[in-house]
A and B are shown apart, each in its own frame.
Chain A
Amino acid sequence: MSTAELPGAEPAADAAVPLQPQAETPFGRFVQAYVESPLAVFAFVLLVLIVGAAIAAPWLAPQNPYDLAQVSVMDSRLPPGAVSMDGYTFWLGTDGAGRDLWSAILYGLRISLTVGALSGMAALLIGMVVGLFAAYVGGRTENVLMRVVDLQLSIPAVLIALILLAVLGKGLDKIIIALIVAQWAYYARTVRSSALVERRKEYVEAAICLGLSRGRIIFRHILPNCLAPLIVVGTVQTASAIALEATLSFLGVGLPPTEPSLGLLIANGFNYMLSGRYWIAFFPGIALLLTICAINLVGDRLRDVLNPRLAR
């Protein structure tokens, strides 16, 4: 029961599988535990829909908001539900340049999710390697590495990202770098603390006695047993990466106008807020909110399911 919880507990469960009566694989058991919470299933379905919508944006969106041939300035700042001159309905209204907001949100979601996923993944990898290394090597190296981690965690991520972007300038690659630097420390600390526990267990001792190489022990033996908390931190941190990117882009230091993420759409809409045109900032914000909440709810449930100690 205790160790069999972990192996094969992949985060990317394929769709919301209906209840399987006899689930004897660890993965099946994981799915069964997950679907016990209707809210978590709902969040997962929502997340799949959001990611699907972002991937399929070019096919789903009624217009390509960045193709000038399809956008007319005559349609600018129309309220939700307004009908354009060629008979097309803007369900969420249009922005200052006459773009259909629904299409703009779908395209923006693409960029936001890409930035969040890429930076989250890279930060996870870097943090994982540092954390594992620190825990395995120990001694002075560990002390120095963890001091750096502590130091970084004592400064808010938004500030670190701001500092970096002030130095690096705008750009998709730069904001991803900034987000990685701002977040790797969370992963490093998480992995280290679980790796420290695993390191002292007998199976690691056995592996050492078998004369396995250090790399093999770290990555093939210790790492799989540290995955559960890493996955949980990964989901929560990806959500906060998306929020952070939106914040930075809103402040005008993140993405350039050529990469219109949700944050930039909101920033753009903010200019029209005081004249009462709420929808330009409101709807992209709702999209952002739904995305973040869905990821956080899934992460919450994963923590409950993957952590046997929390079992009710």
Chain B
Amino acid sequence: MAVFILRRLMQAVLVVLAMACLVFFGVYLVGDPVWMFVSPDMNQADIAAVTASLGLDRPIWEQFARFLWSALQGDLGRSFVFGEPALKLILSRMPATLELATAALVMAIVLGIPLGLYAGLNPERAGSRTIMAGSIVGFSLPNFWVGIMLIMVFAVILGWLPSTGRGETATYFGITSSLFTLDGLRHIILPAFNLALTKIALVIRLTRAGTMEAIHQDYIKFARAKGLSQRRIVLVHLLKNIMIPIITVIGLEFGTLVAFAVVTETVFAWPGMGKLLIEAIQRLDRPVIVAYLMIIVLLFVVINLLVDICYSLLDPRVRLGEVSR
């Protein structure tokens, strides 16, 4: 077991290193970053001085080594636009994104599981067909356009919900979040629903498939024979057994939620790190781009690592297969 985790850990480090390589050589070599600091009235000597002060006159491998070394110490450079350390900037925006992704995840579970259960228990009813058709639409709708339409309907036409920003935030237990205030909750409904849409569709399909499979199993028949109420059979016996795959998939999807938040945050002007990334790309704020990429890669690697480890704990075949290969 320890060997397995160690190997996976080494692989994870390798991936992060490879990404650092790609990001460094990609972002820093496509254009010369010195031009970001140079004003038109500078002469050659000034430009050379700036180049030297940024360390850009050094051989490329030395620059890379220095980039890695400072990255390890948590220094990913300063934002050209804000003048703050890029990492700090990203971390300050991270709670907003995580809060949005969490809200979307909760929404996907709360809406997806009951709808999926209904569709799985009554597959022939018109309601179920509507739910399934809806889930197909949920998959194929372009996310950003749905966001715009949500704004149009609920903010512009009906005027029920605010369409931009995070609203009021409050701090409890050291966490600042808009989930703690009524105004903040009103602000998060639309973006979270937008982000959750594809996940709701996914959870519906998973739950329905699981239900339709489990309903014919012996333990359900036995529970029926015992004379338990339908309610108890579904909520206790059935749900417990179909939850494992659903939870696994949802856990894996958290990373994609954070990634897709880039789109939702732009539509709803949600001040998270995805919106920061888009702004950074448009302003060529390289340190911020690099910092965002490194953080998101780290996030994905950690999620994948955790899932792999959980799998190997649950299913020994995974790690045995690894050894025999």
Question: What are the residues of chain A within 8 A of B262 when measuring CB–CB?
Answer: 158-159, 162, 251
A167, B293: Cα distance in complex, Å: 11
Given A159-B259, A251-B266, A273-B156 in contact, is the A167-B143 Cβ separation under 8 Å? no
Question: What are the residues of chain B within 8 A of A135 when measuring CB–CB?
Answer: none
B20 proximal to A (CB < 8 A): no
Given A162-B277, A167-B30, A168-B30 in contact, is the A252-B282 Cβ separation under 8 Å? yes
B201 proximal to A (CB < 8 A): no
The range of chain B's interface size is: 35 or more
B27 proximal to A (CB < 8 A): yes
Which of the residues B23, B148, B260 comes within 8 Å of A158, measured between beta carbons? B260
| Contact code string A160-171 (vs B, CB < 8 Å = 1, else 0) | 001101111100
Question: What are the residues of chain B within 8 A of A278 when measuring CB–CB?
Answer: 152, 156
Q: Is the CB of A166 within 8 A of B156?
A: no
B170 proximal to A (CB < 8 A): no
Question: What are the residues of chain A within 8 A of B156 when measuring CB–CB?
Answer: 273-274, 276, 278
The range of chain A's interface size is: 35 or more
Smallest beta-carbon distance A154→chain B, Å:
5
Q: Is chain B's interface secondary structure helix, strand, loop, or mixed overall?
A: helix
Smallest beta-carbon distance A269→chain B, Å:
8
* Nearest neighbor of B164 in chain A, beta-carbon distance: A274
Question: What are the residues of chain A within 8 A of B267 when measuring CB–CB?
Answer: 270
Which A residues form the contact surface with B (CB < 8 A)? Answer: 143, 151, 154-156, 158-159, 162-163, 165-169, 239, 243, 246-247, 250-253, 266, 269-270, 273-274, 276, 278, 281-282, 285, 288-289, 292-293, 296
What are some 6 contacts across the A-B interface (CB < 8 A)? A154-B304, A168-B30, A246-B145, A247-B263, A253-B282, A292-B140
Supply 17 further A-B pairs (C-beta < 8 A) apart from A155-B255, A166-B277, A276-B157.
A156-B255, A162-B262, A165-B281, A167-B30, A168-B30, A239-B140, A246-B142, A266-B145, A273-B148, A273-B156, A274-B156, A278-B152, A285-B148, A285-B149, A289-B145, A293-B137, A296-B136
Which B residues form the contact surface with A (CB < 8 A)? Answer: 15, 23, 26-27, 30, 136-137, 139-145, 148-149, 151-152, 155-157, 163, 255-256, 259-260, 262-263, 266-267, 277-278, 280-282, 289, 293, 296-297, 300, 304, 325
